[in-house]
């Protein structure tokens, strides 16, 4: 979305026993954040918390994040920056595409430690897609937008080959790009099955989570900026869509749904609000149990504007929401939320082996530790 200004793919698992144990530890650590410090401490006196990992890039804002495991993660942000860690954040390698310093990367989808696809946002040719197959040692530009009316916000992958990217409305409808070769090539899908956009409606390129998928064919698109904040759903990889209103406040270019997360094709969460720091964001969280056909407001919503969202691994009820003023946790599927941290983050991602990562302004990248 132009008005925001400068403000996920399948993952492989390790051995079953190690994965289950790590995931259980991660979930327990996050749950412990909701109790008083004395009760939250482990036996050795430590308290579960976000632990900052020095990215060495305090001038960069990371709105793109793709966590592969507790050890491997990719972040993407301003100044055309892409970083990768394979040692749990102890060290980071700058793997930015050459000649991209003027671009703003807002979304990245990594398949493993070597393969990733990154999206640059902006009007006209500023919107681009790059792919690497060698851990960022080299990149191939696989798409460059040539339509001055298009502005790409987010991308998502169903598997290692099939993915979509979305643009703000062009000629009255959201535009969808499709790939069937892992992001090596892209084509614009026909818009016949896309509902008309509302006046002023667009997506928010705030966290790489305005377009998300679950399973082999289902995908959801979050909107804002119009009279109503909506979520669009496609069950056929972007060919046809249905639109549903959400209870998240809208009616202003700065308001709407900023992030979505689905734990399966039926159960999803939405967060957002008003991204302006001097404005409140009441009722900025919602949930669905019918694939997004209807949305219900949270009984106790997130505390403020939130731009990033992720379900906890192996959990049917736990999820994290992050934003510039903190992190909120739900333990009941989005019915109620509680602030558990006040650090600034724009996006969050959790992995099947129990790793949860967050990233944001001033080069901030963190992993949940206990």
Residues 226, 200 contacting (CB under 8 angstroms): yes
Please report which helix (H) or strand (E) contains residue 84, including its range: strand 81-85
All residue ranges of the chain with pLDDT < 70 are: 1-48
In three state form, how does the secondary structure of 14-81 look? Answer: CCHHHHHHHHHHHHHHHHHCCCCHHHHCCCCCCCCEEEECCCCCCCCCEEEEEECCCCCEEEEECCCE
Token reading at 358: 């967050």
Secondary structure letter of residue 196 according to DSSP: P
Residues 169, 147 contacting (CB under 8 angstroms): no
pLDDT value at position 278? 95
Give dist(CA 321, CA 348) in Å, integer.
Answer: 7
Token reading at 329: 């946790």
User: Cα 210 from chain centroid?
Assistant: 7
Q: How many CB atoms lie within 10 A of CB 273?
A: 29
Note the pTM of the prediction, 2 decimals.
0.91
Give dist(CA 19, CA 122) in Å, integer.
Answer: 39
Secondary structure letter of residue 331 according to DSSP: S
Give dist(CA 173, CA 167) in Å, integer.
Answer: 9
Q: How many CB atoms lie within 10 A of CB 17?
A: 8
Give dist(CA 270, CA 276) in Å, integer.
Answer: 18
Nearest Cα to 217, choosing from 288, 162, 165? 162
- CB-based burial label for 118 (10 Å; 0-12, 13-18, 19+): buried
pLDDT value at position 49? 87
Q: H helices within 289-333, ranges in order?
A: none
Cross-sheet strand order for the sheet of 319-323: 308-311, 319-323, 326-330, 338-341
pLDDT value at position 370? 78
- CB-based burial label for 251 (10 Å; 0-12, 13-18, 19+): middle
pLDDT value at position 19? 46
C-alpha distance from residue 23 to each of 8, 17, 269 (Å): 18, 10, 21
pLDDT value at position 34? 37
Rg (CA), the chain: 19
- Beta pairing partners, 244: 231
Nearest Cα to 126, choosing from 107, 145, 153, 147? 145
Helices and strands per DSSP (H, E), number in the chain = 2, 28
Q: How many CB atoms lie within 10 A of CB 330?
A: 26
C-alpha distance from residue 4 to each of 7, 143, 253, 278 (Å): 6, 23, 8, 15
pLDDT value at position 9? 39
What whole-number percentage of the chain has pLDDT above 90? 86
Please report which helix (H) or strand (E) contains residue 320, including its range: strand 319-323
Nearest Cα to 295, choosing from 327, 264, 334, 331? 334
pLDDT value at position 28? 56
Q: Mean pLDDT over all residues of the chain? A: 91
């Amino acid at each position: 979305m132009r008005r925001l200004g400068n403000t996920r793919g399948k993952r492989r698992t390790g051995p079953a026993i190690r994965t289950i144990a790590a995931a259980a530890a991660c979930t327990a650590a996050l749950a412990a954040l909701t109790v008083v410090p004395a009760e939250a401490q482990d036996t050795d006196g430590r308290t579960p918390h976000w632990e900052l990992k020095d990215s060495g890039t305090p001038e960069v804002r990371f709105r793109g994040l793709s966590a592969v495991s507790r050890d491997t993660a990719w972040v993407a942000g301003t100044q055309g920056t892409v970083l990768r860690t394979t040692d749990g954040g102890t060290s980071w390698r700058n793997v930015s595409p050459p000649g991209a310093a003027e671009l703003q990367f807002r979304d990245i989808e990594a398949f493993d430690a070597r393969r990733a696809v990154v999206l640059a946002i902006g009007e006209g040719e500023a919107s681009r897609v790059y792919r690497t197959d060698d851990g960022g040692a080299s990149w191939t530009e696989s798409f460059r937008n040539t339509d001055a009316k298009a502005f790409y916000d987010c991308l998502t992958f169903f598997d290692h080959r099939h993915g979509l990217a979305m643009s703000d409305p062009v000629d009255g409808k959201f535009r969808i790009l499709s790939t069937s070769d892992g992001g090596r090539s892209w084509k614009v899908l026909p818009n016949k099955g896309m509902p008309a956009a509302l006046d002023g409606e667009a997506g928010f390129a705030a966290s790489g989570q305005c377009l998300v998928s679950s399973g082999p064919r289902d995908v959801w698109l979050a909107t804002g900026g119009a009279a109503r904040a909506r979520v669009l759903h496609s069950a056929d990889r972007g060919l046809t869509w249905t639109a549903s209103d959400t209870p998240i406040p809208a009616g202003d270019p700065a308001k709407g749904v900023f992030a979505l997360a689905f734990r399966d094709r039926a159960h999803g969460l939405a967060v957002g609000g008003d991204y302006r720091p001097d404005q409140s964001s009441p009722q900025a969280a919602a949930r669905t149990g019918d694939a997004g056909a209807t949305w219900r407001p949270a009984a106790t919503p997130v505390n403020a504007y939130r731009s990033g969202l992720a379900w906890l691994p192996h959990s049917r009820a736990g999820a994290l929401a992050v934003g510039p003023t903190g992190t909120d946790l739900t333990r009941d599927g989005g019915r109620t939320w509680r602030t558990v941290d006040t650090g600034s983050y724009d996006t969050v991602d959790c992995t099947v082996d129990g790793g949860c990562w967050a990233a944001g302004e001033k080069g901030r990248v963190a992993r949940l530790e206990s």
